[in-house]
Structure 1
């Protein structure tokens, strides 16, 4: 945010590319696991549901916290656009929450015996959404006004996310298939 829109866009594309990598690995890994052991689906659903409830807790906690949003440069100084793209990719690939989130996402959308096109539709759809969302974040949050607006709206946004994660987690834990 503090080094300009082009750097933010490059970082956003790195994050989206990391999400794409995680989604591919998760779809093929879960597909292979489900093909080899159908009972693994139950463990994945429980783990995914509990993780979604953990995200709900974190969202609700963030909604009630009172911290300021400040734009600051990432450690290590300024980089080229490719450097920011690489940094975004590394951030996404080394974030354990990304792996856990993809397990939760894929376990909701991918059922045992699902054809390959279902997994690929999830991968492509989420990759396109990731590009759009991360680019919107980069463009919007490269302006001080938007950072201020988000700072005021953050409790509501985090509350909505917490509610969504709670519903998704409970539905996943309660589902029978």
Structure 2
């Protein structure tokens, strides 16, 4: 059976655009790096999967007409921005609070399920809390999707979005969880934590006041 690749060009374009967006520095990147270098490779992997799950949820929401909801009910977008900004600021304070705690390299065998789940939900929450990311998803889908969306797109796009985002953050986690980067982080932990908290706090505040 012949496959008309032209029909699936919007899917490839959307996934490519969202993948490039994921590669840009932001809270998601910072938390994946921090979990990978300060805890363990498996914590970084768990965070990466959480980021991918968040991207999957955002893609489903965009397919279901998220842009329309924000247009019809502007207050919903304002509330989402405020809640997302508060969440990022909360995470920034958490990083500052733990900046002075000396961490030891954690053997992956010693990682417990509870801490891995925490890393997963940290990634999920960070991805879903960024209102700008949600708007990017909504606008990309609105711009690039055809007027009549094939049923297969409702399955293909979320899956491809999950795989592309998870793949990128997994690569980050695997590369930065090796001994060299982890030792460097542990040596300058307080400085890195303060810088990370500052960036995330500023992004959270900017999110709440942006148009």
**TM-score normalized with structure 1 length:** 0.61
What is the CA deviation profile of residues 7-64 of structure 1, one whole-angstrom value per residue up to 9, with x for unaligned ones? Answer: 8998687456434324324545744642452211111111011111101101212222
Paired residues of 1:52 and 1:166 also in contact (CA < 8 A): yes
Q: 1:116 to 1:136 in 2, by over 3 A?
A: closer
Paired residue for 2:58, among 5, 10, 23?
23
Answer with 47-56 or 31-40: which moved more: 31-40
**TM-score normalized with structure 2 length:** 0.53
1:161 match: secondary structure: helix
Per the alignment, residue 75 of structure 2 pairs with: 39
Q: 1:44 to 1:137 in 2, by over 3 A?
A: same
Post-superposition shift, 1:164?
Answer: 0.9
1:171 match: secondary structure: helix
Post-superposition shift, 1:114?
Answer: 3.8
Does 2:186 match 1:154? no
Q: Matched residues in 1 for 2:208 and 2:194: separation?
A: 21
Per the alignment, residue 141 of structure 2 pairs with: 116
Does 2:172 match 1:172? no
Answer with 18-27 or 40-49: which moved more: 18-27
Q: Matched residues in 2 for 1:147 and 1:63: separation?
A: 15
Q: 1:38 to 1:52 in 2, by over 3 A?
A: same
Gaps of 5+ in 2: 1-35, 146-157
Provide the aligned length of Structure 1 versus Structure 2. Answer: 153
Does 2:92 match 1:56? yes
Q: RMSD over aligned Cα, in angstroms?
A: 4.1
1:64 match: secondary structure: coil
Q: 1:63 to 1:46 in 2, by over 3 A?
A: same
